[in-house]
């Protein structure tokens, strides 16, 4: 089997997808698998795929390649020369990925036909969202469609946690429990107020070793000297930092999915984000704080997991996030720390 996989997305989406590639490689070592993904996320796949089999481009650049026909033709020529037997187009891919897959020559093209897909006939095996509405389960069902009938061992019922051990360096030692806080996310609409994160960080720092992951949108936070601020230089630095944590606190974000894959305990303040993006593995170690009564929550599920651009509650904007006080989030964190091994 010569398989080409399209996965031009951000960190969290790739972490949740990683078990597909790792399991396909482990079960079918004779397959040729080529992955098309983003440069920052490519190291995730280093255990499963050699560097030569991972082609990268910035997500926005790839998705807008139709505006630069010479780039689109270059991708098409490479794909045709590769002569793939099958393409796997993740549900979150744009029309450029669907267009290239449609004209790749591959007889099997697995994916999902969602409203944003305008390329007729790009999918031969249309995989519906599973009953649990979990993105990890959806990826897994797509991969199952590629497995040859009667193959030894079949395909496991559920995806294992991703293996990130190749990215984790030696963990830092501390006499106190280590808490990592990531207050950022790519969408402003999914961020719990920064000042609340800072308040919880300061309180936890009384008896915990608290590390604050700095991003441009979180650098203005006023933090006490007891809270260490870091900006991991790369994916390896982020994984190493999270691998040594007893608790992760943050929004629904890429680092949250990394922490979940590593088996950390965690507290997530979730607003519009669909249930399908909740921590998938080690669920008993995680607490997702979602508004219990707003009928619009989560609003992202209505868009087939496309990002929500604005809050429609004009009279009570972002009530889903503002519902959670610093006191409530601190309590949730301390409950999780109590359950964690000392």
Question: Are 183 and 332 contained in the same domain?
Answer: yes
Domain hosting 282: range is 166-339
Distance set, CA 247 to CA 55, 209, 256, 285, 342 (Å):
34, 10, 11, 9, 12
Is 176 in the same domain as 142? no
| Cα 336 to Cα 342: distance, rounded to the nearest angstrom | 12
With cut-offs at 50, 70 and 90, classify the pLDDT of residue 33. Answer: very high
Q: Are residues 40 and 104 in the same domain?
A: yes
pLDDT of residue 337: 95
Q: What is the pLDDT of residues 168-197, one digit of tens each?
A: 988 778 889 999 999 998 888 889 999 999
- 237 part of a folded domain: yes
What is the SS3 assignment for 186?
coil
| 170 and 222 share one domain | yes
222/273: higher pLDDT: 222
213, part of any domain: yes
Q: Considering the domain boundaries, does residue 183 fall inside one? A: yes
In this prediction, residue 292 has a pLDDT band, given cuts at 50, 70 and 90, of: confident
Residue 158 counted as domain residue: no
pTM for the full predicted model: 0.94
Are both 126 and 181 inside the same structural domain? Answer: no
- Structural domain contains residue 179: yes
Give the model's pLDDT for residue 91. 93
Q: Across all residues in the chain, what is the average pLDDT?
A: 92
- Are 141 and 170 found together in one domain? no
User: Percent of the chain beyond pLDDT 70?
Assistant: 96
Structure confidence at residue 116 (pLDDT): 86
Residue 69 has pLDDT above 70, yes or no: yes
User: Based on the structure, what is the number of domains in the chain?
Assistant: 2
Whether residue 207 is found in the same domain as residue 318: yes
15 pLDDT above the threshold of 70 = yes
Q: Quick check: is 156 in a domain?
A: no
Q: What is the CATH number of the domain that holds 67?
A: 3.40.50.2000
Inside any domain, residue 76? yes
- Tens of pLDDT, residues 109-137: 999 988 889 999 999 999 999 999 999 99
Question: How many beta carbons lie within 10 A of that of residue 200, not counting itself?
Answer: 27
The answer on pLDDT for 95 being more than 90 is yes
């Amino acid at each position: 089997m010569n398989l080409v996989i399209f996965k031009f997305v951000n960190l969290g989406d790739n972490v949740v997808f990683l078990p597909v590639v790792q399991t396909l490689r482990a079960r079918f070592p004779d397959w040729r698998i080529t992955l098309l993904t983003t440069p920052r996320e490519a190291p995730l796949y280093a255990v499963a795929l050699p560097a030569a089999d991972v082609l990268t481009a910035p997500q926005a650049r790839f998705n807008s390649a139709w505006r630069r026909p010479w780039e689109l033709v270059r991708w098409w020529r490479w794909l045709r020369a590769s002569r793939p037997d099958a393409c796997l187009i993740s549900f979150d891919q744009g029309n450029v990925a669907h267009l290239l897959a449609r004209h790749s020559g591959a007889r099997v093209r697995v994916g999902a036909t969602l409203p944003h897909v305008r390329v007729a006939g790009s999918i031969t095996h249309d995989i519906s969202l599973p009953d649990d509405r979990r993105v990890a389960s959806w990826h897994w069902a797509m991969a199952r469609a590629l497995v040859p009938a009667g193959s030894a061992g079949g395909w496991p019922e559920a995806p294992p946690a991703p293996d990130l051990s190749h990215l984790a360096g030696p963990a830092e030692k501390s006499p106190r429990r280590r808490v990592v806080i990531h207050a950022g996310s790519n969408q402003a609409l999914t961020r719990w107020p920064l000042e609340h994160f800072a308040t919880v960080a300061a309180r936890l720092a009384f008896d915990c070793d608290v590390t604050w992951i700095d991003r441009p949108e979180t650098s203005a936070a006023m933090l006490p000297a007891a809270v260490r601020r870091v900006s991991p230089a790369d994916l390896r630095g982020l994984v190493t930092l999270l691998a040594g944590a007893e608790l992760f606190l943050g929004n629904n974000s890429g680092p949250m999915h990394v922490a979940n894959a590593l088996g950390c305990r965690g507290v997530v303040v979730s607003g519009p984000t669909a249930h399908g993006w909740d921590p998938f593995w080690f669920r008993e170690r995680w607490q997702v704080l979602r508004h219990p009564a707003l009928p619009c929550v989560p609003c992202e599920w209505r868009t087939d997991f496309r990002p929500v651009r604005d809050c429609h509650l004009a009279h009570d904007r972002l009530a889903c996030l503002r519902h959670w006080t610093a006191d409530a989030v601190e309590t949730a964190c301390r409950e999780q720390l109590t359950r964690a091994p000392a």
